[in-house]
């Protein structure tokens, strides 16, 4: 959308106020006795108060009405969302899903929330350790409705159709070949402009961060300056018919009603924000004299576990690049794992057709086709395509 502005950086201490209300961001303190314009000060924490400064996440929001002013939450249908893996029979085989069909708007109206489908996962939100992978297929915008994930962070990857995400921090337009992250506890609404499809990586117990570069040096992979955070935007809107807040809590959905828009944050500051990233900005590290570099060099974002060097989840891409190597078997090598992996599986999704290798069949590898590899030494080695 033309006119949307962003701030550059990853994990920065940002500050923003809507230009319609100059001076709305308090100076010198977080919680003045009387906030400018009569606003309410709220702190949104993404970590414990006592976390080390390097990992402490929080933002201060200055809003027209406090977010706590709503009616009680009541359970609602979860549709195709789940994280109850005990009810699912384990399957060690390699699995493949064809692209999910997008409902026709002429037949049924499906918004972002009702179009969520859980595909796979491990762990759960109660233990604060694990991941879930969802698909979304929708054809209509969320009207007087927002979503809040109390369980973890959403990493959203559009495959078809751009999405306009309105958050308490501002607006983001996210197009195919871009990703965005909505962190735990942030309210957002999704507008679409036709048939829309993509997938979501949800992590529990950790936030996404940039991977360590090690010997690569100071630059490379996803550079911090290329991440974009929205600027403050608000609406002072009363909704007499009721505004619906949908909350995902311990894998279940709950909803409540309030009579105003939650996107009433006039100003904010902090380092706990939503953000987006254009995958075309990824700096690939891959030219080798022989053999293959391990696929970890393609990591865009990682969610670390409590064990050093082991991630809850890595978001990895295989973009266009030069592939040169002497006396080396060109296709990816056979691969199985037996080390201390957090969740010993690999989920692969094709969301950008131009990133496929020329020898791959377009009929076989379709947009949003996905695969799940359960990698373990107890099974025969198989062809795990680290493209």
Place of tokens 């009929």: 363
Q: Is 335 annotated as a binding residue?
A: yes
- 265: three-class secondary structure by DSSP: strand
Catalytic residue among 70, 292, 343, 386: 292
CB 100 within 8 A of CB 199: no
Cα 44 to chain centroid distance, Å, stands at: 18
Tokens at residue 42, please? 């709220």
Q: Which of 382, 178, 162 is nearest to 282 (CA)?
A: 178
CB 100 within 8 A of CB 141: no
How far is the CA of 320 from the CAs of 99, 228, 268, in angstroms?
22, 23, 38
How far is the CA of 245 from the CAs of 126, 135, 213, 253, 359, in angstroms?
21, 21, 40, 10, 47
70 is catalytic: no
Q: Which of 153, 304, 157, 279 is nearest to 223 (CA)?
A: 279
CB 256 within 8 A of CB 70: yes
Alpha-carbon gap, residue 140 to 192, rounded angstroms: 6
Tokens at residue 201, please? 């990586």
Cross-strand pairs, 346:
373
Residues 6+ apart with CB under 8 A from 107: none
CB 319 within 8 A of CB 279: yes
Starting at the earlier edge strand, list the strands of the sheet with 252-260: 74-75, 252-260, 238-249, 145-149, 187-192, 163-167, 170-174
Write out the catalytic residue numbers: 292
Residues in binding site? 335
| Residues making up the binding site for Fe cation | 335
């Amino acid at each position: 959308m033309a006119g949307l502005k962003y701030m550059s950086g990853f994990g920065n201490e940002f500050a923003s106020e809507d230009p319609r209300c100059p001076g709305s961001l308090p100076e010198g303190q977080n919680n003045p006795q009387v906030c400018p314009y009569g606003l309410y000060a709220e702190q949104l924490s993404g970590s414990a108060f006592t976390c080390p400064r390097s990992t402490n996440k929080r933002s201060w929001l200055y809003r027209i009405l406090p977010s706590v002013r709503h009616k009680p939450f009541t359970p609602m249908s979860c549709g195709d969302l789940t994280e109850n893996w005990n009810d699912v029979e384990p399957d060690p085989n390699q699995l493949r899903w064809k692209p999910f069909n997008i409902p026709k708007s002429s037949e049924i109206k499906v918004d972002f929330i009702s179009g969520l489908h859980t595909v796979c996962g491990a762990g759960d939100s109660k233990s604060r350790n694990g991941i879930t992978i969802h698909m979304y297929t929708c054809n209509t915008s969320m009207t007087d409705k927002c979503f809040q994930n109390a369980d973890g962070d959403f990493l959203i990857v559009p495959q078809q159709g751009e999405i306009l995400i309105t958050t308490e921090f501002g607006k983001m337009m996210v197009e195919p070949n871009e990703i965005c992250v909505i962190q735990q506890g942030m309210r957002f609404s999704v507008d679409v402009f036709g048939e829309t499809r993509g997938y979501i990586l949800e992590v529990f117990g950790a936030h996404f961060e940039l991977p360590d570069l090690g010997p690569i040096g100071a630059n490379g992979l996803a550079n911090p300056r290329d991440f974009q955070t929205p600027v403050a935007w608000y609406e002072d809107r009363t909704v007499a018919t009721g505004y619906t807040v949908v909350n995902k809590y311990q894998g279940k959905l709950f909803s409540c009603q309030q009579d105003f828009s939650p996107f009433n944050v006039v100003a904010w500051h902090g380092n706990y924000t939503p953000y987006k990233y254009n995958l075309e900005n990824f700096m690939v590290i891959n030219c080798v004299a022989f053999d293959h570099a391990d696929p970890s060099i393609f990591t865009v974002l990682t969610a670390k576990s409590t064990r050093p060097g082991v991630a809850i989840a890595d978001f990895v891409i295989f973009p266009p690049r030069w592939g040169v190597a002497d006396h080396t078997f060109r296709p990816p090598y056979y691969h199985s794992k037996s080390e201390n992996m957090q969740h010993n599986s690999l989920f692969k999704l094709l969301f950008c057709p131009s990133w496929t290798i020329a020898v791959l069949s377009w009929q076989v590898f379709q947009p949003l086709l996905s695969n799940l590899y359960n990698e373990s030494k107890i099974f025969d080695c198989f062809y795990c395509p680290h493209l």
